[in-house]
Each structure stands twice: as structure tokens, then as C-alpha cells.
Copies of this chain bind each other. A is one copy, B any other.
Amino acid sequence: MDPARTHKKVPVAELNRSACLGPDGAVAQVTRCLKMISGRWKLPILFRLYADGMQRSSLLLRDIPDISQKMLTQHLRELEADGLIRRTDFGEKPPRVEYRLTDRGEGLMPVLLSARQFSEDYDQLA
């Protein structure tokens, strides 16, 4: 134990001091998660797909207020590259493409629920 740091604060088991720091510590892990969901339209898209299941891009474009064609496609690409959603091109004419959450995407929901809970508790605290 570093003698220069004798704090009374006891870190919880899952998040002790050594687990927090360093290149592959908690900071890096959380940062990676946050990067996947950072972007103006990531959350609206993810929640839409979670609520609706597989969905055509034209419907996403219609149901997400103020999003543009370009931004929709761009964010869909990023989410796909991160393995959170899967793209299915039916190869029809006129074009029909649908998106849905992957297992990884579903695995993100507890994080979002947790963040939502924090936000609700926040107003109660002070």
C-alpha cells in the first residue's frame, strides 16, 4: 500500500483501486462503451430498434424527429461497425434494407437502464 495515500474510503470489491487505473482498467473499459453510444443519434436509433425490433431505414428516418438521411446512414454504419446492430439487405427492387440489434446491442440495454435510473434519482437527491 502506498504510504502517501492512507484513505479511509474503501473501494467496493468490483471497483478497487488497482482495477480503476492503468491502460486496461475501468476507465478504458467504460470509455470504450461510451464511445460506442456517443453521437447525436445513437441513442434514438438504439432505443427505436429495441422497442420496435427489425426496422426499415425509411421508418427510422420517419420516426426519429429531425434526423437527416445522411446522419441516419452514418450512425447506422458506426453502430454496425461496433457490432451493436446488424444490417440486412433484401436485394429487392425498390430497395429494402432492415436493421436490428445484435446480442451485443441487447447487452447494452442494462447500461442504458442504469443511466436512466441515475438521471431519475439525480433530481431526488438535491
**B107 contacts A51, C-beta separation under 8 Å:** no
Cβ B114 vs Cβ A26 within 8 A: no
Q: In the complex the two chains form, is B83's CB within 8 Å of A51's CB?
A: no
**Residue of A15, A117, A122 ringed by the most chain B CB atoms within 10 A:** A122
Query: Shortest Cβ distance from A65 into chain B, in angstroms?
Result: 9
Contact flags A25-43 to B (C-beta < 8 A → 1, else 0): 1110111111001100001
Taking CB atoms, residues of chain B closer than 8 Å to A5 are 52
Q: Interface residues, chain A, CB within 8 Å of chain B?
A: 5, 7-9, 11-12, 14-17, 20-21, 25-27, 29-34, 37-38, 43-44, 47-48, 50-54, 83, 102-104, 107-122, 125-126
10 more A-B residue pairs beyond the given contacts A20-B48, A27-B44, A32-B119, with a C-beta to C-beta distance below 8 A: A5-B52, A15-B112, A21-B51, A29-B115, A30-B112, A34-B38, A103-B126, A104-B126, A107-B121, A108-B118
What are the 8 closest A-B residue pairs judged by CB atoms, nearest first?
A: A9-B53, A29-B119, A33-B115, A114-B114, A7-B53, A17-B51, A20-B47, A29-B116
